[in-house]
Amino acid sequence: MDEKTELSVYCDDVCLEHTIPEGVSYRGSTDIIPVNSPHPDQPDRIRNIRGIIQNTLSEYAVWEDITPATTEQLGTVHDPDYIESVARFSEQGGGWFTTDGTGGNEKTYLAAKHAAGGAIQAVRQAIQGDETAVPYALARPSGHHAQPSQADGSCFFNNAAVAAEIALNEESAERVAILDWDVHHGNGTQEIFYDRDDVLCISIHNGHGSWNSVSHPQTGRPAECGTGSGEGYNVNIPVPFGTGNQGYGYVFHYLVEPIISEFDPDILIVSSGTDAGCMDPQGRNLVTISGFNQLGRIARRLAREYAGDNLAIIQEGGYNLNQLAFGTLAVLEGALGITLDFSDEPEDWHDDPFMFYDHENLDGVVEAVHDVGSQYARYWPLVFSSRETSCG
Ligand SMILES: [Zn+2]
């Protein structure tokens, strides 16, 4: 596989200044445990991703300033009144925007405009045919739950969708594929393009269904397959808890690749969350670091084979601060066609929560059980043959 030599990172400090009030979806305690986790969408998410890129991919990373999305650009996807309501919300200091956990502060509107702007720039760079770079928008707030006139799931503006519209309206794209592997359903992206055949939306997610009839009425089930000329162009792939690396490989082989191949897009936009990871508090899909690396590699290959090598990666969720950083790094390594080797690196790499969880090791367990059993079989009714005759 040819390697990319540059990672273009679209990032702005204002995305760190968007903060969410305590409470609502994450109370201090529950009926079962006295201390609950804080709200998962912390600014430190961005700090950790930015830091791990600086510390490990410095020879690839080119840091790009973001021009915030204009009201007109946001308006290709969102209702003007809704955009204005987000602006007013920040002018008034923020708080809770929805009743189920989407909130912000005086910086939220500006941060959300930068998040969308970074996605636009990443997509522009990809579609303008940069052969050497992988464009990556380090976007916060995330976007994929945001609907035309509805904030949801910590998302205000749908970054990937706005960028897709720019690709279609201002660049040369005629068909855009959005592949969303965040563990939650990309319901906002679905809603925006539901009747369209020029944007293929594929979402691989847990089958969590609707979490609020007002802010999140979509179910994410396969029956939600699009309407009118968009029928068939919205592909929902709910997968069970514990899907794992091989499970994602199966999904890509039998569903994602054949559909993207047939759709023949001009660009592949990835809504990349790492909350399918094995340690994420929001997901239980058991993807490990090698799994995320594999996702990045597959995205690169699909873009190269079916989308003119035009790939843009846009950050969505991921809420374990360590896993988010290492998982995102793995995705970016995969997209660059590299695998960093940390095996001889200092203790710092033990921050990597995947280090000891890369794969289930049944063969190793069987061997360990047999070794222990053979040691103790002469004392206890164990079924193992004795290879050792003493405890020495
Ligand atoms: Zn998510």
Ligand 1: distance of its center to the CA of 205 in Å? Answer: 9
Task: State how far the Cα of 13 lies from the Cα of 203, in Å rounded to an integer.
Answer: 29
pLDDT tens per residue, range 269-287 = 999 999 999 888 888 888 9
The total of other beta-carbon atoms located within 10 Å of residue 386's CB is 12
Task: State how far the Cα of 122 lies from the Cα of 15, in Å rounded to an integer.
Answer: 16
Coil, strand or helix: which one is 387?
coil
Ligand 1: distance of its center to the CA of 142 in Å? Answer: 9
pLDDT tens per residue, range 189-203 = 999 999 999 999 999
Coil, strand or helix: which one is 152?
strand
pLDDT per residue rounded down to tens, the chain (392 residues): 567 889 999 999 999 999 988 765 555 667 777 777 777 889 999 999 999 999 999 999 999 999 999 999 999 999 999 999 999 999 999 999 998 889 999 999 999 999 999 999 999 999 997 778 999 999 999 999 999 999 999 999 999 999 999 999 999 999 999 999 999 999 999 999 999 999 999 999 998 999 899 999 999 999 999 999 999 999 999 999 989 999 999 999 999 999 999 999 999 999 999 999 988 888 888 898 889 999 999 999 999 999 999 999 999 999 999 889 999 999 999 999 998 877 666 565 555 566 555 566 778 888 888 888 888 889 998 876 545 444 44
Ligand 1: distance of its center to the CA of 378 in Å? Answer: 52
CB under 8 Å to 13, separation ≥6 — which residues? none
Answer yes or no: are the C-beta atoms of 65 and 180 closer than 8 Å.
no
Out of 18, 78, 145, 205, which one is annotated catalytic? 145
Structural Rg of the chain based on CA atoms:
22
Beta-ladder partners of 94: 105
Ligand 1: distance of its center to the CA of 287 in Å? Answer: 14
Ligand 1: distance of its center to the CA of 285 in Å? Answer: 12
Cα angle 309, 311, 316; round to 5 = 165
Ordered domains of the chain (ranges, CATH):
6-359 (3.40.800.20), 361-392 (no CATH)
Ligand 1: distance of its center to the CA of 271 in Å? Answer: 10
Predicted local distance difference test score (pLDDT) of residue 183:
97
Ligand 1: distance of its center to the CA of 47 in Å? Answer: 18
Backbone angles phi, psi at 202, to 5 degrees: -120, 125
Beta-ladder partners of 180: 203, 271
Torsion angle in degrees (nearest 10) through CA of 339, 11, 272, 226: -150
Torsion angle in degrees (nearest 10) through CA of 117, 3, 244, 363: -160
Predicted local distance difference test score (pLDDT) of residue 350:
56
Task: State how far the Cα of 156 lies from the Cα of 148, in Å rounded to an integer.
Answer: 10
Predicted local distance difference test score (pLDDT) of residue 364:
80
Task: State how far the Cα of 297 lies from the Cα of 240, in Å rounded to an integer.
Answer: 23
CB under 8 Å to 324, separation ≥6 — which residues? 45, 48, 49, 274, 277, 280, 318
Predicted local distance difference test score (pLDDT) of residue 289:
87
Q: Which amino acid is at 308?
A: G
Protein residues with C-beta less than 5 angstroms from the ion ligand 1? 182, 184, 273, 275, 317
Predicted local distance difference test score (pLDDT) of residue 23:
64
What does pTM read for this prediction? 0.91
Please say if 145 is a catalytic residue: yes
How many Cα neighbours within 13 Å face the side chain of 349?
Answer: 12
Answer yes or no: are the C-beta atoms of 268 and 303 closer than 8 Å.
yes
Tokens of 283: 């997901």
